[in-house]
Chains A and B, each alone.
Chain A
Amino acid sequence: MSASPAVEGWFTTGPEPTLLGSRCTTCATVYFPPVSGFCRNPACDGDEFETAELSRRGTVWSYTDAQYQPPAPYVARTDPYEPFALAAVELAEGITVLGQVADGYGVADLRVGAEVELVVEPLDDELVVWRWKPVTELGEEVEQ
């Protein structure tokens, strides 16, 4: 993939991409998006972080879609606009992360508690972004 991450340092783009968080070296609290400066745990005075690769899979906290084109700075990928789905996903690290749902999937493919995995797909002609892709049970065929 030649396109670059929409935000440098927030996720990897290899065959098994992951979100990149920050882990406080004092209290081990993990943050996403990455933080710098001071730990946000009120009981911790740490100010150093190490990069933490977050779980590639998580469970859907909730989901929706955007039937109308969102306003700028959103950039539509197609003309006319095509709706896309969104999901908030709980990871094993205890963090819930929003993302668009992978191309080809909509709200009908989702439910609260369902398993999804991280993929990286084009945001526009130049940038790529993380997305959540429904994980199908073994033996199930995905109709696309």
Chain B
Amino acid sequence: MSTSEVAVLGVGMHPWGKWGRPFTEYGVVAARAALADAGIDWESVDLVVGGETVRNGYAGYVAGATFTQALGWNGASVATAYAACATGAQALDTARARILAGLSEVALVVGADTTPKGFLAPNAGERWDDPDWLRFRLLGMTNPAYFALYARRRMDLYGATAEDFAQVKVKNARHGLENPNARYRKEVSVDDVLSSAVVSDPLHLLDICATSDGAAAVVVASTEYAKKLGLDRPVRVSAVSTVAPTFPNTVMDMPNLSTDSSADGLPERTFKESIAHAAYEEAGISPEDVSLAEVYDLSTALELDWMEDLALCKRGEAESLLRAGETTIGGRIPVNPSGGLACFGEAVPAQALAQVCEVTWQLRGQATGRQVEGATVGITANQGLFGHGSSVLLSR
């Protein structure tokens, strides 16, 4: 066991949905579930790291303290992270670093969100110096339009088809059928996807994830502390990657209007490749060792990109793995056994932590109805607006 690992004592979630309640409530439900799962009482937590959302005023009431107050002020140290969709990984990394430094003993990491309906839109006002505002004002460039650019490239370069993308949805819908925290638990057919409205060509409505309310929480501690609790073989956080791109960032990224110049040559890895690479390097784990992956399927086609970015297959080969059933539970490398965003929808500051919850259940053999048999290593991947990488490697 590496000395740079921390133990996952407990995980918990509030089910994803459109519940219309304050985000703090969801966070408390998830936190209490994680504490109960850990067998730890709230008074033992000496660090709370909150993943914040920008949609609830005052930057999610500056999340760390808001969750702490809602759980009952217990004098814990607090920290707050914000990295758009990568928020949860940064929050977990903060907790891990303080534990490994010996500055904290037991940390509770919580992310929760209440989302609006429809397209995610930028902050209001005339914001001519904000790229996230400008892409809507100048171009009408929504999030699905970026997803569609990536999808179209797969079609024109690798021969992907709309049926392939639909098949990702069919697979994930099936994976999530019995997941009690999933918002959508219904079989979907290829025809359902292809007959849903086109949002941004070539992506249909059912290719694109919804926005959801939800919360996820993780309790982490040192491996010594876990041993004292009698946990001889806890799930361990083996790596957390929160890297930014390396210049030049030559692949179009949301919410940018342009890329850096590749005139002086391409970087060794694209940004998304570097996210996973950093996690593998830190853990000393190679892609061949991975039992399952939870990736950020904002669109069906994006799941295929992630498989290649995580080096689970070579560039351009994701469709053939999908078609062969290798990414389905029971296949060689199941992707999104939780059902992914296809079944959850996106609850931004909670999503990277929800991935960690799922991998933890999988590695413990507790993923009822969606278990990847014999799973020992799981990787998560995700990317936040403006250059925030997020990948967590968990082992058992």
| Residues of A in contact with B (beta carbons under 8 Å apart) | 6-7, 29-33, 40-42, 61-75, 84, 86, 88, 93-100, 107, 111-113, 123, 129
CA of A129 to CA of B262, assembled, Å: 25
CA of A66 to CA of B201, assembled, Å: 8
CA of A33 to CA of B133, assembled, Å: 14
A64-B202, A68-B199, A70-B142 provided; 5 other pairs, C-beta below 8 A?
Answer: A6-B137, A6-B138, A7-B128, A64-B145, A66-B145
CB contacts (< 8 Å) of A69 on chain B: these are: 140
Asked if B260 contacts A98 (CB within 8 A), the reply is: no
CB distance from B346 to the nearest CB of A (A): 16
Asked if B261 contacts A33 (CB within 8 A), the reply is: no
CB contacts (< 8 Å) of B133 on chain A: these are: 73
CA of A86 to CA of B261, assembled, Å: 20
Asked if A63 contacts B152 (CB within 8 A), the reply is: yes
CB contacts (< 8 Å) of A70 on chain B: these are: 119, 136, 140-142
Number of A-B contacts (CB under 8 A): 127
CA of A36 to CA of B9, assembled, Å: 48
CA of A31 to CA of B157, assembled, Å: 27
CB distance from B146 to the nearest CB of A (A): 8
Is chain A's binding surface mostly helix, strand, loop or mixed? loop
CB distance from B305 to the nearest CB of A (A): 12
Given the contacts A41-B247, A93-B263, A71 and B156 also touching, CB distance less than 8 Å: no
Asked if B264 contacts A29 (CB within 8 A), the reply is: yes
B69 beta carbon closer than 8 Å to chain A: no
For B187-201 the 0/1 string (1 means CB < 8 A from A) is 000000000011111
CB distance from B207 to the nearest CB of A (A): 12
B139 beta carbon closer than 8 Å to chain A: yes
Asked if B252 contacts A66 (CB within 8 A), the reply is: no
Most buried by A among B141, B151, B199: B141
Supply 26 A–B pairs (Cβ within 8 Å), ascending by A: A29-B263, A40-B247, A41-B248, A42-B247, A61-B252, A62-B150, A62-B153, A62-B252, A64-B149, A64-B202, A65-B145, A66-B200, A67-B201, A68-B199, A70-B140, A71-B118, A71-B119, A71-B121, A73-B122, A74-B137, A86-B145, A88-B149, A94-B263, A96-B250, A112-B152, A123-B138
CA of A42 to CA of B245, assembled, Å: 12
Pick the contact of A98: B119, B126, B202, B258 (CB < 8 A): B258
Asked if A40 contacts B258 (CB within 8 A), the reply is: no
